[in-house]
Chains A and B, each alone.
Chain A
Amino acid sequence: MTEHASHDTPPTAAAHTDHRRDYFRIFWVLLVLTIVEVGVSYLKIDKRLMSVIMIALALSKAAFVGLYYMHLKYEKRGLLWLAAIPLPLAGLYAVVLMLDGANLLRAATAPWVHH
């Protein structure tokens, strides 16, 4: 992402129109992705595959909101980093804890465990 040249120039009516068009475009993208998501939830497919699809769709929707509606795409890059850096860390944390939970479950339900 580079600095947007259009934002260095004085604002014009055209620049506003562009933003408005972006806003509506993103709205339709979000709507379609939501419909796809709900549709996928009714499919009879592998749960793990469905989860991956769902999470990918949700993250892409969140990214659209962040980049366009919250204007991160047009902001100084530092602001983008401010928002973006904690996310993978939180994701890593989540994965580690969930794997840990799964391991605990496996250990608790293992056949060699005496109840």
Chain B
Amino acid sequence: MGQDEAELVDAEGGEVTETQVLQDDDPVPHVEGLRDDEGGPRILRRVGAVAPRVAAGQADPLRGEPFRELRPRSRFAGGVGVVVHAPQRPPAGVEEDGVPGPQDRPVRLEGRAGVGDRDDLTGVEPFDAPDGRDVEEQPAGHDLGQGVDAEPVRAVLLGDVGEPVTVVRAVPDLQVVQPVDVGAHLLGGRDLLDDPVHRAAAEPLATPRNTPTFGAATTGKVGMWIFLVTDAMTFGGLLLAYGILRVGNTQWPAPTSVLGIPFTAVMTFVLIVSSLTMVLALDAAKKGDRLGAVKWLLATAGGGIFFLGGQVYEYSHLIRHGFTLPSGNFPATFYVITSFHGGHVFTGVCYLLVTAFGVFRGKHLENGANFVEITGLFWHFVDLVWILVFTLVYLIP
């Protein structure tokens, strides 16, 4: 028997007839609804208040301490205080059951804690103080706030909250005949007592995998896009130099007479296929299909490696035929542009392999596979640039 319990028994001079522990599993299924609802924090505060920074033995009505032991000093010292002076019996005309609002008498929570559950709130019954027997007892050291701290994160983020709970709307119906003095108000509206609840709701630890991130411009995505725009400027500059040199030169050879179009068309096809496998990898990652995502990422990287191999073959073939870098404006621009793109393909292959390795180890699937999507942005950009290079450098007569 814990110290609190012993004190309680001493104080009441009898035995605790009913010992009930608030269950922690699935404690607060509707925290989000409560937060949105005015007055909700009151209820949360009632539970959250006892969660942190409350040493064992501090007066706490929810833990079943005798009512008469409640004194203001204990509330101020520990930062806990919801219950103060109040009529022990509800005044006439006030509904005794199911009032979840700022009632100031100790309550007995039955069954699950169910802070936000409308049904459970019917189980909130006034505790008859003089009787003192039907006191809910918690084992010493039991933290009533645990339920609020731990699981609500998941409960909120899964989005299974449903429609906002209307529990707190019962508050306006409450006829407060006598002024009540709620201690927590003395500490301010958003005092330390509120911390656990607010923190749980404000900082999502992880978004479920299936949350679509399209439409949610994450910082990583915006960063990658800004990089891609600047990178596009570099490519634009190179292509521009190519265009200017070409327009200003009447002796420019027809690219089709020098470059192998069918071969490059196959390389282009491979790059387009790798873009498809990239989005399939993202799709798998968004579904949480780890191995599927790894498979498609590796396929994408394979496409990039194939492309690089093709480029090496192409270069060696062209160089053997005297189409070397210093042999003219066309080869110079051709090699600079295609090798700069090839560098991007190489970078993309490394990026893909690193991402694939991370996914294989179970990373990168959170936040709607945002990391995989950013990797994909880079890879699609490489594909997109090749589409333009292929047309402008290889095909245009």
A residues engaging B (CB < 8 A)? 3-4, 7, 10-11, 15-16, 19-20, 23-24, 26-27, 30-31, 34, 37-38, 40-41, 47, 50-51, 54-55, 57-59, 61-62, 65-66, 69-71, 74-76, 78-79, 82-83, 86-87, 90, 93-94, 97-98, 100-102, 104-105, 109
By beta carbon, the residue of chain B nearest A61 is B387
CB-based contact B247/A101 at 8 Å: yes
CB-based contact A65/B275 at 8 Å: yes
Residue B172, interface by CB 8 Å: no
CB-based contact A109/B377 at 8 Å: no
Distance from B156 Cβ to chain A, minimum over Cβ atoms (Å): 14
B residues engaging A (CB < 8 A)? 159, 210-212, 214-217, 221-222, 225-226, 228-229, 232-233, 236, 239-240, 243-245, 247-250, 256, 261-262, 265, 268-269, 272-273, 275-276, 278-280, 283, 286-287, 373, 376-377, 380-381, 383-384, 387-388, 390-392, 395-397
Report chain B residues within 8 Å CB of A94: 236, 239-240, 243
Report chain B residues within 8 Å CB of A57: 391
Picked from B376, B377, B395, the residue with its CB within 8 Å of the CB of A54 is: B395
Report chain A residues within 8 Å CB of B210: 10-11
Contacts known (A27-B273, A58-B387, A82-B225); A74 close to B279, Cβ less than 8 A: no
CB-based contact B377/A16 at 8 Å: no
Interface secondary structure of B, over-half rule? helix
Picked from A26, A34, A58, the residue with its CB within 8 Å of the CB of B392 is: A58
Could you list 15 further interchain pairs (A-B, Cβ under 8 angstroms) beyond the known A41-B397, A102-B248?
Answer: A7-B214, A38-B261, A55-B392, A55-B396, A58-B388, A62-B388, A65-B380, A65-B383, A65-B384, A69-B376, A75-B217, A76-B217, A79-B222, A82-B222, A83-B229
CB-based contact B225/A83 at 8 Å: yes
Give 12 A-B contacts (CB < 8 Å), ordered by A residue: A16-B283, A19-B279, A24-B276, A50-B397, A54-B396, A58-B387, A58-B388, A62-B387, A70-B380, A76-B216, A90-B233, A101-B245
CB-based contact B215/A76 at 8 Å: yes
